[in-house]
Amino acid sequence: MILVTGATGMFGSRIANRLAEEGVPVRALVRDRAKAERLLAAEVDVAVGDMDDPATLPPALDGVGTVFLVSPMDEHVYTRERAVIDAAGAAGVRRIVKLHGCVRHDGDPLDELHQASIAALRASGLEWALVSPNSVMETSLLPHADAVRDSGELWACAGDGRVGFVAADDVARAAAAVLTSDGPSGKNYEITGPQALSMTDIAVCASAALGRPVAYHDVPEADFRALLVGMGLSPQEADFGVILHMRAWREGKAELVTGTFESLTGSEPTPVREWFDRYRQAFV
Ligand SMILES: NC(=O)c1ccc[n+]([C@@H]2O[C@H](COP(=O)([O-])OP(=O)(O)OC[C@H]3O[C@@H](n4cnc5c(N)ncnc54)[C@H](OP(=O)(O)O)[C@@H]3O)[C@@H](O)[C@H]2O)c1
C-alpha cells in the first residue's frame, strides 16, 4: 500500500489517481473526506488525518509500505514532513519518496525547510528518494490566465531567466514510476519539461497557441511583490508562492532540462505549446 500525503493538492491528487489508474493499492491522507471524494478516483482508499496533529497519523499508516510525502509550500514544510517521517518510522514503513524540486533555491527560506526535511529522511534509517520537478506549468502559468484573456499581457519579475517548465500530469506519471519501482536509496529524480524557456518565449508560445498576441512585461521584483500583496496575498504567501521562484528563475537557477521523465516513462515530456492547447479554455 502506498500512502500519498497532500492528496487533495495539485501533485498529491494527480499521483493518487495515477496510481489507482495503474491498479496500485493507494491510500490518500486528507483533511477533508468530502473534498477527497470530489477529487479522487473511487479506488483510492481515504484516511482522514492532519500533519499538524501527529496523533492522527498512525491509523493512516497502518499496512503502508511506501509514503509519497508532499506538503504545502509554506513555512511549515519541515514540521509537517518531520511528523510524517517520524510516524512512518514508528509504523514500519519501508520507503519514503519526498517531493522536492530542482530549481536551485540555494539557501532561501523555502530551501532551508526542504533541506531540513531531507536531513530528517537521511537520519530516519528508512529507504528514501526525491522526486524533484522544475517549476510546474500549472502553478507558473495558469495564474496569468485572467491577464492573458483580458489584455493579452503576462506580468512577472523573471527577467530573461529560462525555466525547464514541466506539466503537473508529467510529474505525477514520473512519480508513479518511481513509487512502483525500486531505485537506490537517496536517489534524486529531477523531472523537467523538454526545454528551458524565458517568459518572453512563453509569450510567443501563448500567442501561437491561442491565436492572439500576448506580450511579456517584466517589472522590478519589489513592484511585482507589491502588486501581489495588493491583490490580497499575505507578504509570506507572495514570497513563498511566487517571489522566491521568480528570483531563482531570473538568476538562471531553473534552467535545468533532464531526460529523467523519458527514462522513467519511455515518453517525451509535454512541451509548453501543447500545454497551452490543453488549457486553452482558461486563457481565451
Ligand atoms: N509548484 C511547483 O512548481 C513546485 C515545483 C517543485 C516542488 N514544489 C513543491 O510542491 C509542494 C506543494 O505541493 P502542491 O502544489 O501539490 O501543494 P497544494 O496544491 O497546495 O496542496 C497541498 C496539500 O496539502 C494538504 N494539507 C495542507 N495542510 C495539511 C495538513 N496540516 N495536514 C495534511 N494535509 C495538509 C492540502 O489539503 P487541503 O486540501 O485540505 O488544504 C492539500 O491536499 C511544496 O513542497 C513545493 O515546494 C512545487
Residue 10 lies in a domain: yes
Residue 145 lies in a domain: no
Distance 134 CA to ligand 1 centre (A): 15
CA gyration radius, the chain: 19
Total domains in the fold of the chain:
1
Q: What pLDDT is stored for residue 107 in this prediction?
A: 84
Residue 95 lies in a domain: yes
Residue 15 lies in a domain: yes
SS3 state at 219 = coil
Q: Using one digit for the tens of pLDDT, what is the confidence trace for 76-119?
A: 999 999 999 999 999 999 999 999 999 998 888 889 999 999 99
Determine the average pLDDT of the residues in 33-37.
97
In the Cβ-directed half-sphere of 139, how many Cα atoms lie within 13 Å?
19
Q: Are 129 and 178 in contact (CB under 8 A)?
A: yes
Class of residue 53 by CB neighbours under 10 A (exposed 0-12, middle 13-18, buried 19+): exposed
SS3 state at 233 = coil
Determine the average pLDDT of the residues in 122-144.
97
Q: What pLDDT is stored for residue 40 in this prediction?
A: 98
Residue 261 lies in a domain: yes
Dist. CA 43–CA 205, nearest whole Å: 37
Domain of residue 82, residue span: 2-133+168-190+257-266
- Going by pLDDT thresholds of 50, 70 and 90, the confidence category of residue 193 is very high
Q: What pLDDT is stored for residue 152 in this prediction?
A: 96
Alpha carbon 217 to its chain's center: 26
CATH number for the domain spanning 98: value is 3.40.50.720
Q: From the CB of residue 159, how many other CB atoms can be counted at a distance below 10 Å?
A: 17
The residue whose C-alpha atom lies closest to atom 12 belonging to ligand 1 is 72
C-alpha cell recorded at residue 232: 490580497
Dist. CA 210–CA 146, nearest whole Å: 13
Q: Using one digit for the tens of pLDDT, what is the confidence trace for 2-29?
A: 999 999 999 999 999 999 999 999 999 9
Q: What pLDDT is stored for residue 259 in this prediction?
A: 98
Q: Are 113 and 77 in contact (CB under 8 A)?
A: yes
Measured at the CA of 68, the angle between CA 252 and CA 117, to 5 degrees, comes to 60
Q: Please state the three-class secondary structure of 163-213 as a single string.
A: ECCECHHHHHHHHHHHHCCCCCCCEEEEECCCCCECHHHHHHHHHHHHCCC
Distance 73 CA to ligand 1 centre (A): 6
Task: Enumerate residues 6+ apart whose C-beta is below 8 A from 92.
Answer: none
Determine the average pLDDT of the residues in 229-235.
95
Distance 99 CA to ligand 1 centre (A): 10
- Residue 226, pLDDT > 90, answer yes
Residue 83 lies in a domain: yes
* Residue given cell 473534498 in the structure block: 35
Residues with CB under 6 A from ligand 1: 6-12, 31-32, 35, 50-52, 70-73, 77, 80, 99, 101, 133, 135-136, 139
Distance 5 CA to ligand 1 centre (A): 9
Residue 117 lies in a domain: yes
Residue 237 lies in a domain: no
